[in-house]
Structure 1
Amino acid sequence: MKVIANLAWKSLLNRRTTALLVVLTVAISVVLLLGVERIRTQAKSSFANTISGTDLIIGARSGQVNLLLYSVFRIGNATNNIDWKSYEEFAHNRAVKWAIPISLGDSHKGFRVMGTNQAYFDHYQYGRKQPLTFSAGQSFHGLFDTVIGSDVAKQLGYKVGSKIIIAHGISDVGFSRHDNLPFTVVGILAPTGTPVDKTVHVSLGAIEAIHVGWESGAHLGATPDAQTLEQQQFQPKQITAMLVGLKSKIQTFALQRKINDYRYEPLSAIMPGVALHELWGMMSVAEQALMAVSVFVVIAGLLGMLSSLLTSLQERRREMSILRAMGARPYHIFTLLVSEASVLTFTGIVTGVAILYALLGIAAPIIESHYGILIDFTALTWHEWTLIAYVQIAGIVIGIIPAIRAYRQSLSDGMTIRL
């Protein structure tokens, strides 16, 4: 067996150019297969960590996916608002550690505007319980101060001190803008890779102030100037949703049941992790399609190796016959070709894994900063080892095909090869 292995190695060295191309083909296939798998699993993990450390999300009665979409991802609109009295009652519940009010409805050049308070900057977390941080400036203090996400600042070219105009509703058109009440950017949040980056944050009081004189979405009355409004105290009447952190996880289900059975108004309380899992399940088709593409690339790479082995076999028929004439039996020829395919596949796998980690080292920081997907630079998982094993087995199976063909070739066929 040692002789066969040595012979297979020397044979590959003799055909080093072809062997190198086969190795690179297998390596690229492995890089794509493992890369897609790792990005898929890490994207799922990052998706689940869009919001972290929040035990319950409370909003008007609706489905949990809809509530999650508009409160966390700023997609869509609420079916109704929450009365401020309801917010205060649950915010002061003895099981609640902190509560973050959220008010949505306005926009700025395609970005959603969210009204909140200081609790948002103190308690909101994403990823692995990472808090919000500022890349410039600080949180809002004045009535017409605003804190913007990193994407808002980058795409619109805003800096601390820039003036912005908020529009009523999602459509940013001239007649819906609060032109006489500009906001001043006082802070820019560091990138998070979450919807926070695409959000304009203002105070709850500011949301009330800019809508003085607005009824049912129309500007019907006179709106005082900024100086006049700043001298008044504004108390929200309604909010869109609230995020809640509890003192103990054990109290989650009890408080959720209490909120869902609330008699003052119809409310829904959802657990973010459960809702995120349901939402990811709705996206499973795209996930499976991505995995299927990578599998087909691996198949294409292995078929390329098969083509190379069959082509080289035609050129090596005399070599095979000489080996037979020197005493090699058919199973020796069979083992030789299977060994060559195994070595090529194994080398391709090792090369592919090495390239994958090199690419991850370069691309991981870029992917995290731009897309918020944290790619762990860890050892191969059990599932990834399983995928590699399948590739190796497939490579051996591919090698059996030309090996069987060589096994069946007769000595005379090799010695009388046609040129």
Structure 2
Amino acid sequence: MILLKLAYKSLLNRRASVLLTLLTIAISVMLLLSIERVRVDAKSSFSNTISSTDLIVGARTGDIQLLLSSVFRIGHNNNGVSWQSYQYISEQRGVKWSIPISLGDSHKGHAVLGTTLDYFNHYRFAKKQPLSFSQGRAYNAVNQVVLGSDVANKLGYTLNQQVVISHGMGNTSFHHHDDNPFTIVGILKPTGTPVDKTLHIPLAAIELIHGGHSAKHDEHDEHDEHDEHEHGHNHDHPQNLAHELVGHPQQITAFLMGFDSPLYTLQIRRNINQYKPEALLAIMPTVTLKELWEMLAIVEKILLLFSVVVVIISLLGMLTTLLANLSQRRRELAILRSVGARPWQLFTLISIESLLTTLLGCVLGCVLFYALMFGGAGYLQSHAGISINIAMLSYYELTLIGVIMAAGFIIGLIPATRAYFYSLSDGMSIKI
């Protein structure tokens, strides 16, 4: 206890240099924990984007490309799936549900997804959580739209406002469908997935808006024109969007499937990949996500290596500071020897100082880590779709801190050893 108290007083006496060392260690610990937490939560967020979906089917392309385009709205597929193929496959034995999706349009940089009401009934994220509404309801007419939470918050939209869909993905729009505005009837609750950044419109509206129809006529005109053009679309005379959710596009981007049994999943996946009328690809999202993270493993290792290097540099900085101060403390060591301190006690004193410095640096680093997580969680959620779990340190994170503590103690043995030999050579004489 006496040595511990003496070490504490010694650190206070040199608080300027000790504070700089503490900040260096704290920042390195904060970076290490932050990178590890973001890495784990990013992986979890990606894995939680889609749940309870057994197969994703699209045009034949790469597994990861199909997953990224259909689920994460990253990239696009050059080809689609014909409606006839979708109907045929979705009617196979063992298919519990299917969700057709059509991409290719956007609104102010946000993806527009055409789908059916089955999307709101069967789509699951995280641990089989269903989609739910914070305001409004699902659409029941083709001129209505349901917004993700981020779209509504970022653009300041509310219910009953009208939005115009543009052809083209991302911020590049080649044509605005000004004659077919959509009325906002629902806003979804946040999910931490690409759903939050998506506008959802009825699948029946995709073919209609691309056919040049207008949604600005009254119901009477709608019935008159429906009678006149019952079996086709007249592009010279605009027709308003029908109020019933009927119709479908000739092609869709992809479709999601759920099955009654895993056995049906494997069987139908094989049949789809060998489907002769059309070149299709069926992927299992959980397997493809695992492949994606295996590809990104090198990035994880680089991030971990970067944070480890920062920790090593901070510990070496502590070593440099201790060694620099030690040459100035030979008078102090001689005085301690003169009052009865033994060499091994001086060795222990310096070791305790380095251990206390490392411990306080780790504690301060944890405080900075949680401050950063609280401050940056919202940004990561809205801009990267990464849901940060602000919880107690995990076993692995505590292990990392333990390793840093052990490394700090080992590094502290170097100046402690030098202090030991200084005390032997100097004895009780005071040397400067």
TM-score bucket of the superposed structures, by smaller chain: 0.7 to 0.9
Q: 2:414 aligns with which of 398, 401, 405?
A: 401
CA distance in 1, matches of 2:392, 2:48: 22
User: Which residue does 2:125 correspond to in 1?
Assistant: 126
User: Which residue does 1:417 correspond to in 2?
Assistant: 431
Change (3 A) 1:213 1:46: closer
User: Which residue does 1:280 correspond to in 2?
Assistant: 293
- 1:68 corresponds to which letter in structure 2? L
CA distance in 2, matches of 1:13, 1:156: 53
User: Which residue does 1:217 correspond to in 2?
Assistant: none
2:298 matches 1:299:
no
Query: What does the per-residue CA deviation read over 1:64-104, in whole Å, with 9 as the maximum and x for residues that have no partner?
Result: 01111111112222232212222223323332221110112
2:111 matches 1:112:
yes
User: Which residue does 1:196 correspond to in 2?
Assistant: 195
Change (3 A) 1:221 1:76: farther
User: Which residue does 2:335 correspond to in 1?
Assistant: 322
2:255 matches 1:242:
yes
User: Which residue does 2:150 correspond to in 1?
Assistant: 151
Q: 1:344 aligns with which of 357, 372, 380?
A: 357
Query: What does the per-residue CA deviation read over 1:225-262, in whole Å, with 9 as the maximum and x for residues that have no partner?
Result: 34375589523332111011222334322221122122
CA distance in 1, matches of 2:121, 2:159: 20
Shift of 1:57: 0.4
CA distance in 2, matches of 1:187, 1:321: 78
CA distance in 2, matches of 1:304, 1:268: 55
- 1:331 corresponds to which letter in structure 2? W
2:47 matches 1:33:
no
Query: What does the per-residue CA deviation read over 1:120-154, in whole Å, with 9 as the maximum and x for residues that have no partner?
Result: 11111222222222232221111211112233333
Change (3 A) 1:62 1:179: same
Change (3 A) 1:51 1:224: farther
CA distance in 2, matches of 1:316, 1:175: 74
What SS does structure 2 have at the residue aligned with 1:188? strand
Change (3 A) 1:128 1:176: same
User: Which residue does 1:263 correspond to in 2?
Assistant: 276
CA distance in 2, matches of 1:213, 1:207: 10
Check whether the contact 2:45–2:192 (CA below 8 A) recurs between aligned residues: no
Structure 2 unaligned runs (5+)?
A: 214-232
After TM superposition, the structure 1 stretch with the greater mean CA deviation from structure 2, 122-131 or 268-277, is 122-131
2:345 matches 1:332:
yes
Change (3 A) 1:62 1:173: closer
Check whether the contact 1:321–1:411 (CA below 8 A) recurs between aligned residues: no
User: Which residue does 2:140 correspond to in 1?
Assistant: 141
Check whether the contact 1:62–1:79 (CA below 8 A) recurs between aligned residues: no
2:322 matches 1:309:
yes
Check whether the contact 1:213–1:221 (CA below 8 A) recurs between aligned residues: no
Shift of 1:390: 1.7
CA distance in 1, matches of 2:285, 2:328: 63
- 2:142 corresponds to which letter in structure 1? L
- 2:166 corresponds to which letter in structure 1? A
Shift of 1:360: 4.4
Check whether the contact 1:192–1:369 (CA below 8 A) recurs between aligned residues: no
CA distance in 1, matches of 2:367, 2:350: 26
- 2:154 corresponds to which letter in structure 1? Q
CA distance in 2, matches of 1:386, 1:327: 39
CA distance in 2, matches of 1:117, 1:240: 13
User: Which residue does 1:102 correspond to in 2?
Assistant: 101
What SS does structure 2 have at the residue aligned with 1:288? helix
Query: What does the per-residue CA deviation read over 1:351-373, in whole Å, with 9 as the maximum and x for residues that have no partner?
Result: 43355446546655665466443
- 1:194 corresponds to which letter in structure 2? T
User: Which residue does 1:71 correspond to in 2?
Assistant: 70
- 2:319 corresponds to which letter in structure 1? L
Check whether the contact 1:324–1:411 (CA below 8 A) recurs between aligned residues: no
User: Which residue does 2:181 correspond to in 1?
Assistant: 182
Query: What does the per-residue CA deviation read over 1:176-227, in whole Å, with 9 as the maximum and x for residues that have no partner?
Result: 232222222222222323222222211111111112269xxxxx97254343
CA distance in 1, matches of 2:173, 2:286: 40
Counterparts in 2 of 1:335-374, with a 5 A limit? 335-357=348-370, 360=373, 364=377, 367-368=380-381, 371-374=384-387
Check whether the contact 2:69–2:77 (CA below 8 A) recurs between aligned residues: yes
What SS does structure 2 have at the residue aligned with 1:105? strand
CA distance in 2, matches of 1:28, 1:339: 22
Change (3 A) 1:223 1:305: farther
Change (3 A) 1:380 1:262: same
Shift of 1:388: 1.5
Change (3 A) 1:95 1:309: same
User: Which residue does 1:46 correspond to in 2?
Assistant: 45
State the TM-score, normalizing by the size of structure 1.
0.87
State the TM-score, normalizing by the size of structure 2.
0.84
What SS does structure 1 have at the residue aligned with 2:249? coil
What SS does structure 1 have at the residue aligned with 2:166? coil
CA distance in 2, matches of 1:234, 1:276: 33
Shift of 1:349: 2.4
Change (3 A) 1:299 1:223: farther
Shift of 1:174: 8.4
What SS does structure 2 have at the residue aligned with 1:12? helix
- 2:289 corresponds to which letter in structure 1? L
Shift of 1:38: 1.3
Change (3 A) 1:170 1:361: closer
The Cα RMSD (Å) is: 3.0
Check whether the contact 1:61–1:79 (CA below 8 A) recurs between aligned residues: no
